[in-house]
Each structure stands twice: as structure tokens, then as C-alpha cells.
Amino acid sequence: MNLIGALDLATKGKIYLDKKNIEHLRESELAQIRGRKIGFVFQTFNLIPTLTAIENVMLPMMFQNYSTKERKERAKKLLKEVGLENREDFLVTKLSGGERQRVAIARALANDPEVILADEPTGNLDSKKGKQIMSIFKKLNEEGKTIIMVTHDLEMAKEAKRIIRIKDGRIWKDHQK
């Protein structure tokens, strides 16, 4: 996931993002591309503990020059979409693991990225909330977004159009519906 998201550089081979070899880009250029084009849902959330749910969702938009009004409106809409409209003013440290997961998902969608990289995005959610998140991902995919999800949850994996199984660092099976 770190390679796909341009967080790490490859030790072998080449990775192209927008037809550019990322090895040749400066960190500031990579950061701009990541901020505009890639939404990350980290397994460990990576939320800022001193910020509220809405502030965490608003944060990535600051770096893409959204106005304060636009950031707040979009963050409220995203938190409502993940079922957290009543928790937006809570510090993330006061939220449950499942609520933090949904804040992380809302934050990943903040800049309307072309690609969403989701590492175990439903791992901390009950089955009902997990299905809700998968429904959001399906809708985004139908709108043309690419969703790359890493999961051990076979029920969630069944929802995907394509499943690539990796074993010992290599592609083991590749199945498309």
C-alpha cells in the first residue's frame, strides 16, 4: 500500500503516477499528488488526537486551498455519510475504535481523491457499519473512483469486482467478476 500510495519508493522496478516515474519527483511534488489524488484509510487511523472528528476531516483540505466554509461544509457532509453527524465535535480520543475508523474514512474522502487506498477499512466495524462503508465504496467506484482495499475479511472481499490474493509477497490468485 505504501508503494501504491507513493509513501515509499520501490527498491526494484519503477512506479508511475500520472505517467511520471515517482523516483524522479521531489517529496513536495509527491505530497501534492498524494493530497489531491489519493485518499488513505490507515489501519491505525493516523488521526490527530488533539483535534475533533470534524477538524480531522477538515485538515487535508487545508493543504488543497479549500476555504474554511468549504472545508466545514464538506466535512459535515462526509461525517453524516459515515453516520457520525452527532459526533463531529468530539475529540477523536473520546470516540470508539469503530467511530475513529469512520472518521478516518471521511478524512480519506475529504479531497475527493481519484484513488482510495483502504487498509482493513471495516476491521473495527460491526457488520452493519461495515456494509454501510462498502456501500459508500461501491458508489464511489461507480462514479469512477478506484478503490484498493486490503482485507482479511472474506465477506467484505466478496463485494469487490476484482480480488487479488497475495501469498508470501507474490500474487497468488487474481479473480475478476
For the chain, the structural domain boundaries read: 43-176
For domain 43-176, the CATH class is alpha beta
Query: 128: which residues sit within 8 A by CB, 6+ positions away?
Result: none
Question: Which residue stretches of the chain have pLDDT < 50?
Answer: none
Distance CA 77, CA 67 (A): 15
List the grid coordinates of 166: 497475495
Q: What is the pLDDT of residues 156-176, one digit of tens each?
A: 999 899 999 999 988 999 999
DSSP 81-142: HTT-TTSTTSBGGGS-HHHHHHHHHHHHHTT--SEEEEESTTTTS-HHHHHHHHHHHHHHHH
Q: What is the pLDDT of residue 19?
A: 87
Q: What are phi and psi of 173, to 5 degrees?
A: -140, 145
Q: What is the pLDDT of residues 18-33, one digit of tens each?
A: 788 988 999 999 998 8
Q: What is the pLDDT of residue 18?
A: 79
Distance CA 83, CA 105 (A): 11
Q: What is the pLDDT of residue 177?
A: 85
Q: What is the pLDDT of residue 129?
A: 92
Q: Measuring CA to CA, how many Å separate 71 from each of 43, 77, 138?
A: 24, 10, 24
